[in-house]
Structure 1
Amino acid sequence: MNGQLPLLFAAVAAFFAVGGVGWVVAGALSDGQKSARKKAVMSASGGRKPRKAEADSSQNRKKQVAESLKEIEDKQKSAKKKSLTLKSRIAQAGFTFSVQTFWIASGVLAILGFLGAFMTGQSFLISGGLAIAAGLGLPRWFLSMRRAGRQKKFTAEFANALDIIVRGIKSGLPLNECIKVIAREAPDPVGPEFAKLVEAQAVGVSLEDGTKKMVERMPLPELNFFSTVLTIQAKTGGNLAEALGNLSAVLRSRKMMREKIGALSSEAKASAMIIGALPPGVLAIVYFTTPSYMTAMFVEPKGQLMLLGGAMWMGLGILMMRGMINFKH
């Protein structure tokens, strides 16, 4: 029994020695696994940081775009509140004469209308009415017609101008060079308007202010969209070629929609033209076939008042028919 005690103590010592070595090895392996897991967690968190930064950058850009749109909308509302002056109408029609010249021409037309009516035997009341119509109505009507025709031509050619800018930017040209190309190559009125923008930039006017002046001379939603895109791109950055390409596609779609609406409403427009032309046409036919029957209408005061009343009612009817067939799009 006494001989076995040393063996027993040796076995116990060996057991504890082996267990200690195992515990040390297990601890080292555990520390290695923990460090590996820590590195994995750190790398994962490090991978999420760029995503978070990217999301923050996107949010900031959206916020900047929203602020820019709100600022532009406020400026447009304040501009709409201002009444359109005669000087602005003259500029939008493409003329360069002054307001004083316009009023002088209106006065000359009024005098000619009064003298022409009075010398043909019309009463003072009819002559005065014709003078007012010739002096106030005819010049403003001509100005409005010229302004509408100029805006129509600009809208028809503006999408091609945007395509020139898109192709130029994609090929590496700066925006200012693309605008100069449009100013040289585009037909009237797109070319002259962009030429004024180039001249304004040459004297130090910023692109944003230049496009705003351009919108004042040509108040069209298409040009307003173009100015808004340039303003936002200058403040927040982005792909200008893609934005202008999308705008060009939208403008072409709007043009197709206008043409489709015009085709669908052509029958109503033809009916309105026929109905509006019937009374003066019948009057002219009766006057040339039997002049004695219609002479009293032009000579007698009652007949003149009847003609004036009929002209007023015809004008109101034409305005109502025009409002019925003028579809907003």
Structure 2
Amino acid sequence: MNTGTGGDETLLLAGLAACFVAVALLVVAVASLSRAGSAPDWARRIDRYRASRDDDEAPGERPHPARRALAAGEWTVRSGEMEDRVAHRLDQAGMSLRPHEWVLVRVGVTLVLAVAVTLLSGAAFGGLLGALLGWLGTRAYLASRTRRRLTAFSDQLPGALALVAGSLRSGFTVSQALERLARQDLQPLGAEMSRAVAETRLGASVEDALDKVADRMVCPDLSWIVLAVRIQREVGGNLAEVIDTTVETMRERTRLRRQIRALSAEGRLTAYVLIALPVVLAALMMLMRPDYMRPLFTEPLGVLMLVAGVVALLVGWVWMSRVIKVEA
């Protein structure tokens, strides 16, 4: 009895310590996010080229724990050669966090979920499952935010191109039409066009700036417009008419895509319910009857059954997502 009580106390102390570390990491990440969000865009761009240690810090002074955590995250990102890839994903999602700050957020969430699941299940395997859930969950959040932003950009593009075509008929140049478009209160399209206008003012051509926007937002329709602008500059022609034709094609495709999405809504809802049902039921059972669920984490046969269930759930999710997905 004493041995078991001592083991429980040790597990509780370890869980509390891990919770403290995770909360500290989350506080540092949230502070970094608020600092990055409050700074203007030009200040954030200049801050990327600053050293990780501030110049006003005394040589003999010990660095702040928050700076230590950020410096460790920055070193991890740069040593793994994934800084550019993470920065590109954050840029697509419209997040002002820097790569090492995002890694810090993921680590904090992973630790919190690992400790929470460990304390609820009373087994180390539960901590591993919680850590996996936290790491994959943050990745899914970033992917979901990126997908929503790219979809919003694609939905706003036809109306924006119609505005560009009207500006061209009024006698504006392509650069002036883009500047007019950048002043519109459209997000995320307005922000992306503002970046394109800023690049043209720094010496880049309109085509190259729009090409970067098309690559960043994964928008083939905008790539077609850029190709039309290049051809118009070389051989001439009515660019406004070409843009109008492209806009009409894009709107027809959007209507068809929405119609397909409406027709497949029942299948998607069924897939969501079937996937969420075992997860929600397992979470409720862990909260209401933890003793009943503990053998799944402590017994070898239970661990094997849990792994088999998770694998079957993932296979079912992949299969159903392929069935309900219709390309338009």
Residue correspondence of structure 1 range 23-102 to structure 2 within 5 A: 85-102=85-102
CA distance in 2: counterparts of 1:86 and 1:288, whole angstroms:
36
Q: What SS does the corresponding residue of 1:238 show, helix, strand or coil? A: coil
Contact persistence 2:93–2:149 (CA under 8 A): yes
Equivalent residue number for residue 276 of structure 1 = 275
Contact persistence 1:94–1:150 (CA under 8 A): yes
Equivalent residue number for residue 178 of structure 1 = 177
Larger Cα Rg: Structure 1 or Structure 2?
A: 1
Structure 1 residue 123: deviation in Å? 2.6
Q: 1:230 to 1:96 in 2, by over 3 A?
A: farther
Contact persistence 2:120–2:286 (CA under 8 A): no
Query: Which string of whole-angstrom CA distances, capped at 9 and with x for unpartnered residues, describes residues 58-81 of structure 1?
Result: xxxxxxxxxxxxxxxxxxxxxxxx
Residue correspondence of structure 1 range 147-296 to structure 2 within 5 A: 147-283=146-282, 293-294=292-293, 296=295
- Code of the residue aligned with 1:269 in structure 2: it is R
Contact persistence 2:152–2:188 (CA under 8 A): yes
Higher normalized helix content (fraction of residues): 1
Equivalent residue number for residue 65 of structure 1 = none
Structure 1 residue 266: deviation in Å? 1.9
Structure 1: state its 5+ residue gaps: 1-83
Q: 1:278 to 1:96 in 2, by over 3 A?
A: closer
Equivalent residue number for residue 37 of structure 1 = none
CA distance in 1: counterparts of 2:104 and 2:284, whole angstroms:
37
Question: Greater shift after overlay, 293-302 or 175-184?
Answer: 293-302
Structure 1 residue 129: deviation in Å? 3.6
CA distance in 1: counterparts of 2:193 and 2:291, whole angstroms:
59
- Residue correspondences, number: 245
Structure 1 residue 304: deviation in Å? 4.0
- Code of the residue aligned with 1:120 in structure 2: it is L
Question: Greater shift after overlay, 292-301 or 213-222?
Answer: 292-301
Structure 1 residue 289: deviation in Å? 7.7
Query: Which string of whole-angstrom CA distances, capped at 9 and with x for unpartnered residues, describes residues 116-175 of structure 1?
Result: 23333443233124223323x122211111110001101111100011011111122222
Structure 1 residue 230: deviation in Å? 1.7
CA distance in 2: counterparts of 1:138 and 1:144, whole angstroms:
10
CA distance in 1: counterparts of 2:243 and 2:196, whole angstroms:
18
CA distance in 2: counterparts of 1:109 and 1:215, whole angstroms:
32
CA distance in 2: counterparts of 1:125 and 1:175, whole angstroms:
59
Contact persistence 2:121–2:286 (CA under 8 A): no
Query: Which string of whole-angstrom CA distances, capped at 9 and with x for unpartnered residues, describes residues 195-251 of structure 1?
Result: 111111111111111112112221112222222222222222211100100111011
- Code of the residue aligned with 2:307 in structure 1: it is L
- Code of the residue aligned with 1:123 in structure 2: it is A
Q: CA RMSD in A?
A: 2.4
Query: Which string of whole-angstrom CA distances, capped at 9 and with x for unpartnered residues, describes residues 293-319 of structure 1?
Result: 545445545334423321221122011
Structure 1 residue 103: deviation in Å? 1.9
Q: 1:160 to 1:138 in 2, by over 3 A?
A: same
Structure 1 residue 288: deviation in Å? 7.4
CA distance in 1: counterparts of 2:273 and 2:120, whole angstroms:
30
Q: 1:287 to 1:85 in 2, by over 3 A?
A: closer
Structure 1 residue 274: deviation in Å? 3.1
Q: 1:212 to 1:99 in 2, by over 3 A?
A: same
Contact persistence 1:161–1:186 (CA under 8 A): no
Structure 1 residue 275: deviation in Å? 2.7
Contact persistence 1:126–1:304 (CA under 8 A): no
TM-score normalised by L of structure 2:
0.68
Equivalent residue number for residue 120 of structure 2 = 120
CA distance in 2: counterparts of 1:186 and 1:244, whole angstroms:
21
CA distance in 2: counterparts of 1:286 and 1:98, whole angstroms:
39
CA distance in 2: counterparts of 1:235 and 1:105, whole angstroms:
49
Q: 1:119 to 1:271 in 2, by over 3 A?
A: closer
Q: 1:256 to 1:146 in 2, by over 3 A?
A: same
CA distance in 2: counterparts of 1:290 and 1:199, whole angstroms:
59
CA distance in 2: counterparts of 1:111 and 1:242, whole angstroms:
56
Structure 1 residue 283: deviation in Å? 4.5
Contact persistence 1:110–1:131 (CA under 8 A): yes
Structure 1 residue 181: deviation in Å? 1.5
Contact persistence 2:90–2:96 (CA under 8 A): yes
- Code of the residue aligned with 1:115 in structure 2: it is V
